[in-house]
Amino acid sequence: MKAPVFPKVTTHVLQEMKLKGDKIAMLTAYDYSMAKIIDDAGIDIILVGDSASNVMAGHKTTLPITLNEMIYHASSVMRAVERALVVVDLPFGTYQGNSREALSSAIRIMKESNANAVKLEGGREIKDSIDRILSAGIPVMGHLGLTPQSINKFGTYVVRAKDEEEAQRLREDASLLEEIGCFSIVLEKIPARLATEVTNNIKIPTIGIGAGSGVDGQVLVIHDMLGINHDFSPRFLRRYHNLFEEMKGAVGMYIKDVKSLDFPNEREQY
Ligand code: KIV
């Protein structure tokens, strides 16, 4: 096996990055080849997000993805990664029921995929589940603000915690997640000022998506930032490529070459 160029990222390394003011870069991946590319590029955290439900399986929400499917994606990613810390989402319906179910879902992910940590959406309402998972020695990343698994309660993907009541609940939930031992918290689609305030008030790193620049790190869905997914354009998204058009162009050239008998040529056969 090739020796890693950089030291392996651990939850301890992330804590030190926050202390030093080094920003944390996180992206999603769901398969071996993509994980290999982004790990090689030096990403700090890879999230095997339940956004796989949208970008890999074509569902409208993150709700349908199953624990078995998440384990399949996570194991594929783990076979590629040498340096990044790999966090896996517990999918909808596998931890909200009770803390025993939550623990057994988290244990399946850790045992069957070999991942480094799990992520759960929510605050005080899932405290018992987080406590139980943590007590088994499994690192937990929290997720507050817009929590897509609750889309049927919110009814929309608009910015969360704009009013003072919801903002105060989020502040308290962030402190609670820190207190019970989460190693980091994702803050999704909340006002930048609130995200900065929360980040300054807790000692564990915050990772923002649509939460401004005052957080300790950023996360994007890889299909969105590479422009593979071209029908999703929220204001917070920066697209670094237009791979949908580039890949479509390459496929178009291949089709043309096959049909015109240009491919394969003499050097491309035995
Ligand atoms: O599933 C996911 O990709 C996520 C990120 C958007 C944070 O939870």
Do 145 and 260 fall within a single domain? Answer: no
The set of residues, in sequence order, having a beta carbon less than 8 Å from that of 48 and lying 6+ positions away, is: 28, 29, 30, 70, 73, 74, 77, 86, 87, 88, 89, 113, 115
- Tens digit of pLDDT for each residue in 61-99? 999 999 999 999 999 999 999 999 999 999 999 999 999
- Tens-digit pLDDT profile for residues 151-197: 999 998 999 999 999 999 999 999 999 999 999 999 999 999 999 99
The answer to whether residue 5 is domain-embedded is no
Do 72 and 105 belong to one domain?
yes
H or E element at residue 13: helix 11-20
Q: Could you tell me which of 101, 117, 146, 132 has the C-alpha nearest to residue 204?
A: 117
Task: Give yes or no for residue 211 CB within 6 A of ligand 1.
Answer: no
Q: Residue 6's pLDDT is what?
A: 66
Same domain, residue pair 133 and 252? no
Q: Are 142 and 184 in contact (CB under 8 A)?
A: yes
Ligand 1 proximity of 45 Cβ (cutoff 6 Å) = no
pTM of the predicted model as reported, rounded to 2 decimal places? 0.96
pLDDT at 1: 55
Same-domain status, 67 and 154: yes
Compute the distance between CA of residue 123 and CA of residue 50 in angstroms, rounded to an integer. 18
Quick one: 41 and 159 in the same domain? yes
Tokens coding 97: 């029921």
Domain with 63 in it: what CATH number?
A: 3.20.20.60
Any domain includes 3: no
Bridge partners for 206 per DSSP: 185
Q: What is the pLDDT of residues 8-32, one digit of tens each?
A: 999 999 999 999 999 999 999 999 9
Name the pLDDT band for 2 (thresholds 50, 70, 90): low
194 belongs to a structural domain: yes
pLDDT tens digits along 102-150 = 999 999 999 999 999 999 999 999 999 999 999 999 999 999 999 999 9
Say yes or no: 30 and 59 in one domain. Answer: yes
Which range marks the domain in which residue 270 is found?
242-270
Determine the pLDDT at residue 172.
Answer: 98
Question: Helix (H, G, I), strand (E, B), or coil: what is residue 70?
Answer: helix
Please name every residue paired with 107 in a beta bridge, in sequence order, or none if there are none: none
DSSP 224: H
Q: How far apart are CA 65 and CA 149, in angstroms?
A: 11
Q: How many domains does the chain have?
A: 2
- Phi, psi at 46, each rounded to 5°: -110, 125
Tokens 């870069």 appear where? 25
DSSP H or E segment with residue 184? strand 184-188
Residue nearest to atom 8 of ligand 1 (CA): 49
Within a domain: 191: yes
Q: Is residue 179 part of a domain?
A: yes
Question: What is the mean pLDDT of the segment spanning 235-239?
Answer: 96
Is 188 in the active site?
Answer: yes
Ligand 1 centroid, distance to 8 Cα (angstroms): 22
Task: Tell me how far the alpha carbon of residue 140 lies from the centroid of ligand 1, in angstroms.
Answer: 14
Mean of all residue pLDDT scores within the chain:
96
Which residues are paired to 87 by β-bridges? Answer: 47, 117
Three-state DSSP at 93 gives: coil
User: In which band, very low, low, confident or very high, does the pLDDT at 230 lie, cut at 50, 70 and 90?
Assistant: confident
